[in-house]
A and B are shown apart, each in its own frame.
Chain A
Amino acid sequence: GEDVEQSLFLSVREGDSSVINCTYTDSSSTYLYWYKQEPGAGLQLLTYIFSNMDMKQDQRLTVLLNKKDKHLSLRIADTQTGDSAIYFCAESPNYSGGYQKVTFGIGTKLQVIP
């Protein structure tokens, strides 16, 4: 079945770049997502990338996709204390009028040190 793996913890200093990595197993993955969860809150969709793309940039966020290695990364430039949260990598095999089944990784806890 589908599996998404990511490291559990990342600590960075404020102002540095953060890179959160993820690997997935489902070769039919069409959509790959990054979600952010702050304490006590639900999940916030940060960005997503189609499997036919290599890179997507959105302000401080850069997503890189290596489809051959099934590796996805999220780079946060100029990391701020407000970026401290759990980041989930997720994949979905298809899209037809609504997301059918999204598989999530365990989440990477990002700690930003002032």
Chain B
Amino acid sequence: KAGVTQTPRYLIKTRGQQVTLSCSPISGHRSVSWYQQTPGQGLQFLFEYFSETQRNKGNFPGRFSGRQFSNSRSEMNVSTLELGDSALYLCASSGDTQYFGPGTRLTVL
């Protein structure tokens, strides 16, 4: 069974730009969660999607958004990037248990 894949693995953007990250969950998993990991704040929950619906949301500004497609693949979008958005963005796929992808390292200059 293939694991959780995230693309791209690395991204460099400048302030004010927007970015879209992609996550493909494990086949058969319908729940996808997104987390932001930074050295100062640790792992923070962004949102969770289940069957194309956002089921839970963390405390992030509206610049952070996401969606899930009918094949369970999920994307998250960050608009008007700020320096503080530099982080490792982790996607987790859930079925019987939760599996994480390798993450996308976003650097905002």
**In the complex, B61 has a CB within 8 A of chain A:** no
Known: A42-B90, A105-B42. A98 touches B102 (CB 8 A): no
A106 proximity list for chain B (CB < 8 A): 42
Say yes or no: B45 contacts A102, CB within 8 Å. Answer: yes
Contact status of A99 and B100, CB under 8 A, knowing A88-B43, A104-B42, A106-B42: no
- Assess the B45–A99 pair: CB atoms within 8 A: no
Contact with B along A41-60 (1 / 0, CB 8 A): 11111001000000000000
**Cα distance, A48 to B99, chains bound together (Å):** 13
A-B contact count (CB 8 A): 59
Contact size class for B?
20 to 34
Most interface-central of B4, B55, B98, B103 (chain A CB within 10 A)? B98
Contact call B98/A45, Cβ cutoff below 8 A: yes
A100–B49 CA distance with the chains assembled, in angstroms = 9
Chain B at the A interface: SS class: strand
Query: Which B residues are closer than 8 A to A by beta carbons?
Result: 4, 29-31, 33, 35, 42-43, 45, 48, 50, 55-56, 58, 90, 92, 94-95, 97-103
Contacts A/B (CB < 8 Å), 21 sampled? A42-B103, A43-B100, A44-B100, A45-B97, A45-B99, A45-B100, A48-B97, A97-B50, A98-B30, A98-B31, A98-B95, A99-B31, A99-B33, A99-B94, A100-B31, A100-B48, A100-B56, A101-B33, A102-B92, A103-B45, A105-B42
